[in-house]
Amino acid sequence: MALTIICILLFTTATVVAYSKLKPKQFGETLPTAPYLFPVFAHTATFAAGDEKLASALKRYAVSEAPIRFRGIGFNFVLLSGKDIIRKALSTANLDWNKISAPLFGGMFGGSEAIVHALQHDNSGIGAKPYPGSNVHPGRRLLRNQILFFSDAFSRGSLDELVPRFVKNLQDWCAESSSVVGSDWVEKPDLYEFVRDILFSCSVDSFFGKNLRQLNPNLDKDFWEYDDNISFLATPMPRWLRPNAIKARDRCHDSMKRWREHAVNESKSLSLQVPEDASWDPVWGLGAIRRRNKLFDATGGLLDKQNRASTDLALLWALTSNVIPASFWYLFEVLASDGLLDRTRMEIAHILGGLNAINEHKFSPADLTNSDLLQSIYAETLRLHVIALITRSVKKEHHIGKWLFPKDQAIIVSSHVEHMNEQWDTSDEKHPCTAFSPDRFLTHEKNESGERRTKFSLDGRQGQWIPFGLGEHMCPGRHFAKQEMIINFAVLISTFDFELLTPKNWRPEDNLSRYGFGTQQPKQKTPFRIRKRAVK
């Protein structure tokens, strides 16, 4: 749904539109506009036409190291492209994140108007001290609270709880699957669905605890139906157009409510006294999730039952919706590349002293996530399949390079535009940006004794490789997402044999209807077969 983009921008910003009539300023060049045929309509048709059209229009008109304006009926934004201008723009505190993004909290997660309003008007920044001149209720510094929560949820102590739990859930899943997957090949219709089902249960249980899924046996089904409709939910379009989308969202919302109510009940019972600073709490999952309630309690009633459930749903969505399809692509790309599966198995065996270390539960996840090859595949997978639109608005008029950016101007950076251009082509022409190349992020250096050493590196890619955004609002889940992708892959391929039942060199397309929302899902099913790996 390309309309999403227009509507997201429309949603908030009648004000932004007014600035399209901006007069040239004395200093600094005004922002150039992409060419169009008809005045007023300008780029409207392109944007309404569909996601493939939108994707190619953004790519076609993007100008390296410069801004370019797109406008039409109800929208007006500036696309930035090129690593220097992107780094410059996103690493300053001159841009707001919440003006454009706040309304999504209502549409996507069912937050009330009050919380959307509070989020949109939180001008206190993310720092410990509010910005001078901001007048936000001290308990309602929602952006600051988010930072506080995630630094707790992904602290060292918390990750030491989360990651081993994730590994254990995955291993338990593999052990339990013995009843369906034995030593003979079994054919399955879709590798994406397979990965999705494993990872939803394993990651949700290791984050929220087991109660969430146990209290809500249909959660995974409801969740994916809801997620399927996310680009509609993000728009301000009339709700009656897609009643099923709203119903799916509300079922997920209800599930979060039920889970929370149960947790509140259980916490009251004296038999369950968990220390305040514990990293894990059996009823809340991560201790950080329980501690977050204190932040909620301090909002003076803004975080009521409905908004707590919305915040929980947002957390569930952030936790699963990107990393799960990304983990599918990771496995798929390896299976589909000649010889790569063997290479990764040799690498894992080399690191851990044999593949059996994984089945025997004798390995340290950090050893895997430090592997050069496994990290390079991870970076390349995200480069190819993440399409995030990083949206900001200009807080106060300022220059970026020679251009003058007026206050309230909406700004967009598309990871797709940056990930799919010549800056990635290798000089030998063997690895164009559109192809999966597992070695793209490996550099070859000579060490002191003159021997070649291969190393994973993102050096020089800042502003170029942006699957997680950049700057103050860069994805706080990125370290966990990386671990999840690599561990999932390593556990699966050391437990099972996989074979794609697809023609050679075939790969599913990205379904671009989630353009802008992060990792794309595959458009076609990927049939495969699987069997338990013989222990060697």
Could you tell me if 203 and 209 are in contact, meaning their C-beta atoms sit under 8 angstroms apart? no
179 or 447: CB nearest ligand NAG: 447
- Work out how close the CB of 436 gets to ligand NAG at its nearest, in angstroms, rounded to a whole number: 21
Interaction with ligand NAG in 409-468: which residues (CB under 6 A)? 447-449, 451, 453
Q: Report whether 306 contacts 296 (CB < 8 A).
A: no
30/91 with CB nearer ligand HEM: 91
Query: What would the two tokens of residue 527 be?
Result: 């049939």
- For the bound state, the minimum distance from the C-beta of residue 228 to ligand HEM, rounded and expressed in Å, comes to 18
Residue 164 or 471: the one with the smaller Cβ distance to ligand HEM is 471
DSSP 8-class letter at 30:
P
**C-beta closer to ligand HEM: residue 139 or 477:** 477
* The one segment of 126-134, 184-192, 286-294, 509-517 that binds ligand NAG by CB under 6 A: 509-517
Task: Consult the annotation and say whether 202 binds a ligand.
Answer: no
Task: Decide: is 518 part of the binding site for ligand HEM (CB under 6 A).
Answer: yes
Instruction: Select the span of 65-73, 319-327, 396-404, 523-531 touching ligand HEM (CB under 6 A).
Output: 319-327
Angstrom distance (rounded) from CA 296 to CA 305: 10
Interface with ligand HEM, residue 467, by CB under 6 A: yes
Shortest Å distance, C-beta 303 to ligand HEM: 16
Tokens of 344: 């990764």
- Figure out which of the listed residues 126, 162, 195, 245 binds ligand NAG, where binding follows CB under 6 A: 245
- Pick out residues in 96-115 that bind ligand HEM (CB under 6 A): 97
Q: Is 326 helix (H, G, I), strand (E, B) or coil?
A: helix
Are 398 and 516 within 8 A, CB to CB?
Answer: no
| Stretch (H or E) spanning 423 | none
- Whole-number Å distance between alpha carbons of 512 and 1: 8
Does 31 interact with ligand HEM (rule: CB under 6 A)?
A: no
- Find which of ligand HEM, ligand NAG, none residue 239 binds, CB within 5 to 8 Å per kind: none
Closest CA to 406 of 95, 121, 123: 95
Min dist. Cβ of residue 340 to ligand NAG (A): 21
CA distance 210 to 76: 45
Residue 29 DSSP class:
B
Contacts of 266 (CB under 8 A, 6+ apart): 272, 283
Torsion angle, alpha carbons of 154, 460, 401, 470, to 10: -20
Q: Hey, CA dihedral for 437, 440, 441, 444, is it positive or negative?
A: positive
Residue numbers in the known binding site are: 475
Residues in the site for ligand NAG, rule: CB under 6 A? 225, 228-229, 232, 245, 258, 261-262, 265, 447-449, 451, 453, 511, 513-514, 523
Residues near ligand HEM, by CB under 6 A: 97, 146, 315, 318-319, 322-323, 326, 382, 386, 388, 390, 467-471, 473-477, 480-481, 518-519
